[in-house]
Chain A
Amino acid sequence: MPADKKGAPSDVLALDVESDGIYAVRMKRGREGPIMDAAARLPALNGADDTGTITAPEGKGGGKLTLPKAFRARSVAVTIPATHGVLRLVTFREPIERASVWEKRVRENLGVNSSFQVGFVTGSSSGKGRDMALAVALPREEITSTLAHLGGGGRQIVSLEVSGLAAMNSFLYGPGRQLDKPAAVVVSSGQVTILGIVSNARIHLMRKFALGRDAIVRRIAEDMHLEQDTATQLFTDPTFDISGILDQVIGPFASQLTISREFVERHEDCRLERLYVGGSMSQSTYWLKCLRDKVGLEPVGWDPFEGLSVKGSIDKGEKDRDAPLYSAAVGAALGALEVL
């Protein structure tokens, strides 16, 4: 499909590479807003390790992605969990005059060498108007491997993002549009959980935690001597009490969540009023209960498909049930279409 006047594609396929598969969303730019054309979960690629990270070199056990016809778009936006990456909201004490210095300063703050690729968006802090950047660093090897596996076949990869941040973009397109009071957004995937505290399109805090559904499921399987599949079912089934196990795994994150909340409230002189939850862990009653207990607010989910015109064939059952799992793919597609 041809790109629009600004150079952004008008037809994009977003692929969220997760440990349990690839969440694919095809989206087109319509006159009255983005149009959902197709959404499905595709099998995980050969060559991806148990974190979903593609590590096998192309051609040595690393499979090339073959897409169903409905998902064959020219432009592709990719999101990966960034298990081995660094995510940080960096605030600079001194203003940065020249644009060319940004990357150097960001790299210094993230503490990464040249084997990492750095990406960032800039802004200014709400209080003192300092320069700040939402920055991500990922190993170049991981990026190269991902591009090699997902590119080609007539596809052009136009963006590579961290899935948690992409999911937050879908939040921005949904409930985040009318957000006038500070809110915490917790997005979790198989390996990583990202906590963001935002208000009025400003980012107060952004942190990445090495906690995800996979670690909890693994712990349930070990403690209860269950198969992995059964443990995965238990994780989302409210009829079983797994709070004892969850408390042990979630404990460190819960402490950091409390600290982060207090830091933002004190620093920004505000009060957190909303808690939004997205990603794979939002399907667990115990996860929601844990967050409610720690933050003291009722967790609210969001439907990433809401507000989008749906023209293609999308399984309604899956759409309703697994909608939170498509947050990252939808966010990446919206970002690539530049409708945010």
Chain B
Amino acid sequence: MNFRVNLLQQEDVARESQRRPVAAVIGVVLVVGVIGLIGSKLVRGIATRAQYRSAQARWEKLEPRFNAAQDMRDRVLLCNAIQAEMEGWKQARVDLHPILEGLYTCVPATVQLTRMNLRSSYAVERLPPRKAAEKKAPPQKVMRKYEISLEGVAVGDRSDQVVVDFVEQLKISALDSDLFPSVKLQRLQQEDATEEESEELPTSSFSIKIISIPRVL
């Protein structure tokens, strides 16, 4: 007989041993969970790092080409702007020689042009703003308009009718009707002959105004 009186009952020992596995299982699950989480983060981090390095290497190769492409694009944009400007100017400009040629071909033999004036003027048209940002500085359209003034005299009988026919010819064939839709006879005056000139042919002085459509710059 020894003195070992164990006060722990079987239920206590069982409870103790049951508590431990449950705690151990929870502990293991927690540890595995934490390790899994850390592992996945680590793997993702490593993958991201590798991706970053590969992208960096690619960028180092591509950067000179990218910069060159950027420069090219800037140059192209500049050239495009210049081209647009030039085309605007070209669009706005009217060649004189077709006008002069047209006049040359259609001026009747009895008509003498005494004065020709070609004048151009600019007009600015404000456009309605399309965006809120454009309210302060609304877009505008710059246009160029041409005005040709002709003065001359017609000699001979029915000189007034000759002048009228001349104006018609200008409208129909001498000038580009799309470009110069407005051809107006502004003045037609028959000159009265003096006594000394009574034997001379009757003359009519006239002035014609030709206005072009506005041409956008």
A-to-B contact residues, CB < 8 Å:
117-121, 123, 134-136, 138, 143, 147, 151-152, 154, 156-162, 165-166, 168-169, 172, 196, 201-203, 331, 335, 340
Contacts and interface: CB of A to CB of B under 8 A. Distances in A.
A121 B1 CA distance: 8
Contacts of B16: 147, 151, 156-157
Contacts of A117: 7, 9
27 contacts: A117-B7, A119-B6, A121-B3, A123-B1, A136-B5, A143-B8, A147-B12, A147-B16, A152-B19, A154-B20, A156-B17, A158-B13, A159-B6, A159-B8, A160-B6, A161-B7, A162-B5, A165-B4, A168-B3, A169-B3, A172-B2, A172-B3, A196-B3, A331-B3, A335-B4, A335-B6, A340-B2
A315 B203 CA distance: 149
Contact of B7 (A136, A154, A156, A331): A136
Contacts of B5: 119-121, 134-136, 161-162, 165
B13 to A, nearest CB: 7
B19 A151 contact: yes
B127 interface: no
Contacts of B4: 121, 159, 161, 165-166, 169, 335, 340
Please name the 7 residue pairs, one residue from A and one from B, whose CB atoms are nearest each other, closest first.
A335-B4, A119-B7, A123-B1, A165-B3, A168-B3, A159-B6, A160-B7
B52 to A, nearest CB: 43
B23 interface: yes
A158 B8 contact: yes
Given A121-B3, A162-B5, A169-B3, 4 more contacts: A134-B3, A136-B7, A143-B7, A157-B8
Contacts of B2: 121, 169, 172, 201, 335, 340
A161 B16 CA distance: 16
Interface residues of B, number: 17
B3 A138 contact: no
A4 to B, nearest CB: 17
B21 to A, nearest CB: 10
Contacts of A135: 5
A67 to B, nearest CB: 16
Contacts of A335: 2, 4, 6
Nearest to A338: B4
A132 to B, nearest CB: 9
Contacts, number: 81
Contacts of A160: 6-8, 12
Given A117-B9, A143-B12, A147-B12, A156 B20 contact: yes
Contacts of B19: 151-152
A118 B8 CA distance: 9
Nearest to A122: B1
A134 B24 CA distance: 37
Nearest to B27: A154
Nearest to A138: B7
Contacts of A156: 13, 16-17, 20
Contacts of A196: 3
Interface string B90-123: 0000000000000000000000000000000000
A123 B6 CA distance: 15
A105 B16 CA distance: 28
Contacts of B13: 156-158
Interface in B5-35: 5-9, 12-13, 16-17, 19-20, 23-24
Contacts of A162: 5, 7
Contacts of A201: 1-2
A53 B6 CA distance: 17
B39 to A, nearest CB: 25
Contacts of B9: 117
B4 to A, nearest CB: 4
B42 to A, nearest CB: 28
A202 B1 contact: yes
Nearest to A124: B1
A138 B23 CA distance: 28
Nearest to A169: B3
B1 A203 contact: yes
Contacts of B20: 152, 154, 156
Contacts of B6: 119, 159-161, 335
Nearest to A74: B20
Contacts of B24: 154
Contacts of B17: 156
Contacts of B12: 143, 147, 157, 160
Nearest to B1: A123
